[in-house]
A and B are shown apart, each in its own frame.
Chain A
Amino acid sequence: MASYSTNEFRRGLKVMLDSDPAVIIENEFVKPGKGQAFNRVKLRNLKSGRVIERTFKSGESIEAADVVETEMQYLYNDGAAWHFMDPESYEQIAADETAVADAKQWLKEQDLCTVTLWNGAPLSVTPPNHVVLEVTSTEPGIRGDTATGGTKPATLETGAVVQVPLFVNEGDLIKVDTRSGEYLSRARE
């Protein structure tokens, strides 16, 4: 099994911590002049997203985590799993609800997503930063009102609910920032 010594620690390194995959987000070398050296490390658990502080004796090694990020195309949801395909190898994988988590409300068929794989199985899914989705239900629009700045809720084809300007109508295509969940603009097909 591959492992990393503390001298290889750096931001972004994927390691195993308490049987879960984690990524190093901060690494500080601490050493009393006449004493034991330590690496004081902040890591994010890639399953729970929780940030953990942990100290290691310098010189020790920890197991590497087989974590890779791949670009995959979202295909469909069969009610239990979300299916993705590698656009080059055409290999397909299925992600469960835990892995898809909050991303599911932005997943539109054919869109390219970042799928994080741990030992080949999906750990998490990151949708594109910007997606174009159809408004399936909202209060009727107020024609011509592009200036008052009021908003109303709109339900999108994926089930997501976002705040949109008053002039947006059912059937419109809109562009949304998936990181903030904010409406950006109307879009054309």
Chain B
Amino acid sequence: MNGDWRPAASLRVLRRRAAMLAEVRAFFAARRVLEVETPLLSAAAASDPAVESFVTCYAGPGVASGCSMYLNGSPEFAMKRLLAAGSGPIYQICKAFRQGEAGRHHNPEFTLLEWYRPGFDHRLLMDEVEELLRVLLPDLGGGERLSYREAFRRHAGIDPLTAEEQELAKCAASHGLGGVAGPDGMGVDGWLDLLMSHLVQPRLGREGPCFLFDYPASQAALARIRPGTPPVAERFELFLRGVELANGFHELLDHEEQRRRFDADLQRRARAGQPLPPLDRNLLAALSHGLPSCSGVALGLDRVLMLMCGAEEIGEVLAFPIGRA
């Protein structure tokens, strides 16, 4: 008989999940951060070329002929609209959906904890992420803060902010990662992603949480860029035992700059033959109304639970991973 009707996660793990969610809510309640909910179904979608959305259709009262709706790839845009409307500090625990992502650390539907702190810069927010992580994983060793540049110098022997594409390709080849480029080439950021995921990341956070900060400006996403030589994005990521757990920004406030980044994303998508989703005009309107200076972060709770339970595969901590969904 087909055994796939049964949950993939054990009941012990499902109880740990419930306890983890309760601890997260207690953590934010004590700090007076408001829990919110935003739509999982949206008329707009992420423009980031590295995130592909699920698309579905709504037809019904008000929309007789039906219209495309996108499953939330991240609650970021909607939460920023709340911040612009004066919500103060907010958090959300929600499902996020990403097309094409399934593997040892990926399920196309996963649980995110996302929160925003008006008045915090990315350094203050890193402190708070670490405090929460130590509540969930009390036995962690000492933490580490490392710039993206220092991490690459240490683990790949190259300066990621100044190296040309050819040097990055050569560095990859010297570590047995040649022949990856394929017919379309990689570009500087493609090579950086390759070196990051194959060489640098597996060595991060072996004992305790490791925060990487100050990303290349080309990987700013929605972080503000700090001028300098070279300029860097005020973005951070958290790694523990080689697993990427969180991504945060000192948030971009400038709606014109946001519009330019949207357009640049769409141009990259068009060149790569990717779908061109509608942009979130509500976000642009909220930014032009005025977003308070803030930092925000998204933490992958399934991966945190994996580390809490010593799981090797994300499927071990989900009741019904994609193969049984």
Contact = CB atoms under 8 A, between A and B. Distances in A.
B180 A30 contact: no
Interface string B153-186: 0000000000000000000000011011111101
B76 to A, nearest CB: 12
A35 B247 contact: no
Interface residues of A, number: 20
27 contacts: A28-B103, A28-B104, A30-B103, A31-B50, A31-B103, A32-B50, A32-B201, A33-B237, A33-B244, A33-B247, A34-B48, A34-B221, A35-B189, A35-B192, A35-B196, A36-B50, A36-B186, A38-B194, A38-B197, A53-B176, A54-B179, A54-B180, A55-B198, A56-B182, A57-B181, A58-B100, A60-B183
A55 B191 CA distance: 12
Nearest to B104: A28
A35 B197 contact: yes
Given A36-B189, A37-B101, A30 B182 contact: no
Given A34-B221, A35-B219, A40-B198, A29 B103 contact: yes
Contacts of B237: 33
A18 B155 CA distance: 29
B180 A57 contact: yes
A33 B186 CA distance: 17
Among B183, B193, B237, the one with the most A-chain Cβ atoms within 10 Å of its Cβ is: B193
Contacts of B104: 28-29
A56 B100 contact: no
A30 B50 contact: no
Interface in A39-87: 40, 53-58, 60
A38 B237 CA distance: 19
A53 B176 CA distance: 8
A53 B48 CA distance: 30
Contact of A29 (B50, B106, B183, B198): B106
Nearest to A55: B180
Contacts of B179: 54
Given A29-B101, A56-B180, A34 B198 contact: no
Contacts of B275: none
Interface of A: 7, 28-38, 40, 53-58, 60
Interface in B173-227: 176-177, 179-184, 186, 189-190, 192-194, 196-198, 201, 219, 221
B102 interface: yes
Contact of A32 (B102, B103, B182, B244): B244
Contacts of A34: 48, 50-51, 219, 221, 247
Nearest to B103: A29
A28 B242 CA distance: 15
Contacts of A28: 103-104
Contacts of A53: 176
Which 9 A/B pairs are nearest by Cβ-Cβ distance? A29-B103, A35-B193, A36-B193, A60-B182, A30-B197, A55-B180, A36-B190, A33-B247, A57-B182
Contacts of B102: 29
A30 B50 CA distance: 13
Given A29-B104, A31-B103, A57-B181, 5 more contacts: A29-B106, A35-B192, A36-B50, A54-B179, A55-B177
Contacts of B219: 34-35
A32 B193 contact: yes
Contacts of A57: 180-182, 184, 186, 190
Contacts of B106: 29, 31
Contacts of A40: 198
- Which of A7, A35, A40, A53 gathers most chain B CB within 10 Å? A35
Of the listed residues B50, B181, B219, the one surrounded by the most CB atoms of chain A closer than 10 A to its CB is B50
Contacts of B180: 38, 54-57
Nearest to A61: B182
A33 B237 CA distance: 10
Contacts of B51: 34
A57 B219 CA distance: 18
Contact of A31 (B101, B177, B190, B221): B101
Given A37-B100, A57-B190, A60-B182, A32 B176 contact: no
Interface in B238-253: 244, 247
